[in-house]
Amino acid sequence: MNRKRVVALVTATLCVAGGLMASGQAAIGATGSHALTKLDTSAANRRAPIPGLYDWSKAGFRGGQNLPGASDINPSASCQITPAQLASTYKVIPNDNVDDTNGIQAAIDKLHSTCSPSANYNKLSLITFPAGTLNVTHEIHVDANYLVLRGAGTDATKFVYAPDKNTEYDVLTPDGDQWDQKNMNYDDGSGGWLWPGRGLFRVQSRQVDPSYASEYKSAPANRKDIFEGTINVHWKAGAKLRAKPGDKGFAARTGDKVVYLDTSAKTTNMKVGGFINIRAANSVNFYKSMDAYPTTWPLENLHMRQQWFTITAIDTKNHTVSIDKPLEYDVPVDSTSDGSAPIDGTVYASKASPIVDPIVGVGFENFSYTQVAPPGVTQAQAKDNYGNLAPSLAMQGIVFKWAANDWVTGIHAIMTGSHPIVTEEAKNLQIVNNELDGSWNKGKGGNGYFRGSRVWDSLYAGNTTRDLRHFTFQWSASGNVVIGNDIDSDFNIHGGYERNNLFEDNTNAVSYAHRSGNCTAHCGDEGNDPPDDSTWFPIYWSTGQKAVKWSGSSGPRNVFFNNTMTKQVTAGAAFTPYYDSHNTIYQFGWDGTGFHHLDIGGKPIVDWAHNEQADYTKGHGVDVSKTDSGPSLFLKSVAK
């Protein structure tokens, strides 16, 4: 993109963004945010595990430690880049309408090479951004470990993102609804490797697996990022498994802390203290356990059951790897070793996949970001519109992929292209006290979420969101705590065997207008003629028969406690309470001893739509046998 184009876009955006910020802040102020922004989430204020419930006491940054403070910044001037140095050395100058992307990237790369190798959680590098507007045209790669990116204040430093032609998705699906992961390829590289898509900031390794080095070198600028991070992918780094002694077909079982590797498996990339993802292959029997079979939708050879662990031991003689926490699911050797027929005639292996280059200790603090309005589109058009208004520009705000012990606080996201914050394989994140306002794309293909996919043991606290599609956990997310947030969408357990997540002390008031049928462009199935006539309720639970087409049903024991949830059931109606007991512990997908798909009269529901108000207690999938008189299952005391 040439400089004139950048300046024109940014100038136009500043006019729009100024209005967006004012509009976003006014919307929150007008309705009043009930987010609990003064929660004490320190280890000292965390409750001991409650008998009969999951242990959430280690959720968040470094398993419950406080976020870094001033004393944790490396005092060496060589590992701190000030606003003055950004201007003089890297030509990052606010309010000059010049593209700052390369200068910001160069500053990060400098610290990556000179400071990250000797850094740690108590010796963090720091980039301090100036007040004013900074212009960005392509994704900023934040792959320097132990680095804080800090603005001059939540709405004082503003990043304005105008994706250039090498960043904009150049191949859309035939209907033009979303970017085409299957066909935006280069040689062996698949566009799907970019999932969950490009963003403004990407916390992810750029290391390329050696087998892709030549393809990466020859790839054009808009395809190189397909190969970046492949050092971590399971089909290259992952080890196949073998049956544990005395247990035909299974490499490990629920509760085990030892996983049996194939005798020829390489353990080169497995290191004690390193991260490993134990990935259990889908099987027909697993789909059956979720009441998702038989189905008219095609079953997928994937790994729905996943979780990151820390390696505690590697036994090269007996070919095993030991992990720090008990497994939450059985691990068949492959997709047929549990007695299932192969899916589509293919046997798919389970894997123990080491994370070769995780990005750790990265923090985003005290700034805002927005993405420029698509041509001819206004924020008013995006309000309560659950379609994609700019499919080729569906960029995320902050992406965490193969990342751990990172944080986001004091951030204001205004009209991102898609998800303002999104994860894809991440652990022990802390996302606290942020404001997330709106998205240009909230429709087909899963856009516009506050989204935690394949995220584990993380803490989401004190955030306020407005005009997003969902707050979502999906794809095997587990052990996360969502506390003290104020949202105007649903808490969406999206599908893919997410489990053991805690939602408590949150407020969500869901209007009748929050419905997939409200859509003007690129709507997907929901917006067809006639459109979906349902409206989202404060909780969404994903049924096997419907969700099998993208990921399978929600998993066991997602817990709701002491929330204030209301729903406007029809247009103009009063908001009425939803699961409103503040002492009852609602365990979804649970019968007291094991997983229980939600049912009505003993028949599993095939869709959550129109079944949101049924009574699933008394043995129908929501266990209400436990109560608690405290304000929180996670914290000893809660500051209101």
For residue 431, which phi and psi values (nearest 5 degrees)? -115, 100
pLDDT of residue 167: 97
Q: How far is CA 227 from CA 142, 151, 205, 212, 553, in A?
A: 16, 31, 11, 7, 31
pLDDT of residue 550: 80
Q: What is the 3-state secondary structure (H, E, C) of 392-417?
A: HHCCEEEEEEEEECCEEEEEEEEEEC
In the DSSP assignment, the letter for residue 243 is P
Pairing of strands 449-456, 421-427: parallel
Tokens of 389: 């208004």
Strands (E), 406-468: 407-416, 421-427, 430-432, 435-439, 449-456, 459-461, 464-466
Indicate the SS3 state at residue 379.
Answer: helix
pLDDT of residue 530: 63
What is the CB neighbour count within 10 angstroms for residue 165? 12
Whole-number Å distance between alpha carbons of 588 and 171: 39
Nearest to 330, CA basis, from 279, 402, 390, 272: 279
Whole-number Å distance between alpha carbons of 461 and 483: 5
For residue 610, list its beta bridge partners: none
Q: Are 591 and 617 spatial neighbours (Cβ–Cβ below 8 Å)?
A: no
Sign of CA dihedral 465, 377, 131, 68: positive
Global confidence as pTM: 0.94
Whole-number Å distance between alpha carbons of 367 and 157: 5
Q: Are 471 and 490 spatial neighbours (Cβ–Cβ below 8 Å)?
A: yes
What is the CB neighbour count within 10 angstroms for residue 211? 11
Tokens of 241: 């498994």
CA 334 to chain centre: 27
Q: What is the 3-state secondary structure (H, E, C) of 51-73?
A: CCCCCCCCCCHHHCCCCCCHHHE
- Which residue is associated with the tokens 């939450």? 328
Counting as low any pLDDT under 50, the low residues of the chain are 1-30, 527
**pLDDT more than 90, % of the chain:** 88
Whole-number Å distance between alpha carbons of 476 and 503: 16
Q: Are 634 and 574 spatial neighbours (Cβ–Cβ below 8 Å)?
A: no
pLDDT of residue 7: 36
Q: Are 445 and 418 spatial neighbours (Cβ–Cβ below 8 Å)?
A: no
pLDDT of residue 529: 55
pLDDT digits (tens, 9 = 90+) for 91-128: 999 999 999 999 999 999 999 999 999 999 999 999 99
Whole-number Å distance between alpha carbons of 532 and 310: 44
Angle between helices 83-90 and 101-114 (to 10 degrees): 110
Whole-number Å distance between alpha carbons of 611 and 622: 14
Please enumerate in sequence order all residues whose Cβ is within 8 A of that of 251, keeping only pairs 6 or more positions apart, or say none: 241, 242, 243, 244, 259, 260, 261, 331, 332, 333, 350
Please enumerate in sequence order all residues whose Cβ is within 8 A of that of 261, keeping only pairs 6 or more positions apart, or say none: 239, 240, 241, 242, 251, 267, 319, 320, 321, 352
CA dihedral 491, 495, 497, 502 (to 10 degrees): 0
Tokens of 368: 């805002």
pLDDT of residue 104: 98
For residue 201, list its beta bridge partners: 140, 398
